[in-house]
Amino acid sequence: MIRIRRLFKIIRIVYRYRLDSLIDKDKLPLIARLLLSPAVLYGKPSDNRGERLRKALESLGPIFVKFGQLLSTRPDLVPADICAELAQLQDNVPPFKSAKFRQIVEQALDSSVDELFLSFETEPLASASVAQVHAAVLKDGSDVVVKAVRPNIEKVIGKDIALLYTLARLLAKYSQDGRRLRPVEVIADYEQVIYDELNLQAEGANASLLRHNFEGSQLLYVPKIDWAYSNEKVLVMERIYGTPVTNIDDLKAAGVNFKTLAERGVEIFFTQVFEHNFFHADMHPGNIFVNASNPEKPSYIAIDCAIMGSLSKDDQYYMARNLIAIFKRDYRQVAELHIRSGWVPESTPVNEFTSAIRAVCEPIFQRPLNEISLGHMLISLFTTARRFDMEVQPSLVLLQKTLLNIEGLGRQLYPQLDLWTTAQPFLDKWLKDRYSPKSLFKQFKRYAPDWMEQLPEIPPLIYQALQSMQSNEKSVKAVVPAAQAKSKLSFTRKWFPWVGGAAIGSGLCLAFPQSANTLSQLPETGIILVAIGLFILLLR
């Protein structure tokens, strides 16, 4: 009954904001057309489609508001005019009662608020669609904020998600753009995001790792989590005091160097993506503050780590190579990298794909560098690649969305920001470091214990492989003369002493280094190479 009432409320809002005009009604079944037909009684819509959709989501409540925010971050799937309008959705939801907040905290921490805190503010600092935040002071005098999930929100989310899936399937089936927009996939992504946000312990773990990654850094500060007072339902963290990044007048009054501030934002982004491979994927202005205590070298403060992103090693590598190739306007390499990475099918014609990429990127480069948006270029590039059956990866979408946020924020702070000049040296250095001896030896050392564990299995596998080779040679004796087969095997075995000797020599160098240089302290790898070398010599 509750779900039916909710469905009728959605239908009324569809009528009110004439969302029926977003659907190709001629392709709808008769019953659906009859259901939507009363919408014409509300007259011709005066607002554009993006504004009507935004107002409808706001009327439907916090879960739909959150969904609208997610849609605004999917420019690869949602038209630009709708994205721009949905980006205006504010996560400013009326707070629930302080007594209920207090009850949630006490149940989650199994103690009264008076016993847990020296003081506790009844008025919330902030109220969002999923959680609410209050200020408090711990018994040791530390200023903290207490975050708790809204009561009974899981049930509300479950019901609304079910309805969203229904609407998405209808859109995919009957809308002209339904298949291209992949609404069911969008709902699935949203479902994962919204349920992840309900687990405050996971958010705290994200914040702790991000804090660790920037420990001692002058670029970014992340509040400390107080794990003694935190779990899945409640999160207690250090209270930060900074200037909201959107308060430009306050930052100007503090004498902040906006050029440095904007460039540091770009540096933070590329450091997270390519050095740490763990990036804050919800970097909208409400989650960013500025520490202006040193105006010439201002730093950032980040909060709300519920949504984080990371790339696979392959995607990380290919993304860096793609960006560098774009910087150099080497469009053929961009096309080849897309194919090699598996982002587009191997059968994609390279020349045709190169021409399509050139048609997108080259006009952009005719503009001044400080007017070029790398984020929007990636959107155009991925849109073009989808014509060649590119499957958009969720991790790449998160990366693209975060880049758009950072780039937009940087240009707001310093309109002359040249993202290309700031980013290219960073990417060049990252690729150089990736193949440096130190990095390679670090990888060897990391995997050496796994190799040691698997070492006993290597001799039987090699023996079986050689036995299989000998069996194959016997089976072709009817075609290949026996003398020729014997000659091939003999020729192959001639290499055994060289291969075995090389393995033993390399292993001894690694196992017993001449100096204490950290680059050569790999005894585990050395032992493995010595063992393999001895085994090869025995096979001879």
Supply the residues annotated as catalytic. 282
* CA–CA distance, 43 with 33 (Å, rounded to integer): 17
522: which 2 tokens?
Answer: 């790999």
Neighbours of 361 (CB within 10 A): 18
Beta strand pairing call for 288-291 and 131-138: unpaired
Tell which residue, 235, 234, 231, 233, has the closest CA to residue 223.
235
- Helices 62-72 and 49-60 cross at an angle (nearest 10°) of 140
Task: Tell me the C-alpha distance between 270 and 276, whole Å.
Answer: 9
Cβ 251 vs Cβ 243: under 8 Å: yes
Label residues 419-447 b or e (16+ Cβ within 10 Å = b): beebbbebbeebeeeeeeeeeebeebbee
Q: Distance between CA 471 and CA 478 in Å, rounded?
A: 13
The span from the CA of 83 to the CA of 50, in Å, is 8
SS3 518: helix
Burial label, 261 (beta-carbon count in 10 A; 0-12, 13-18, 19+): buried
Quote the CA–CA distance of 54 and 66 in Å, as a whole number: 11
Tokens 């045709």 belong to residue: 352
Count Cα atoms within 13 angstroms, Cβ side, for 411. Answer: 15
- Helix H or strand E segment including 308: strand 308-309
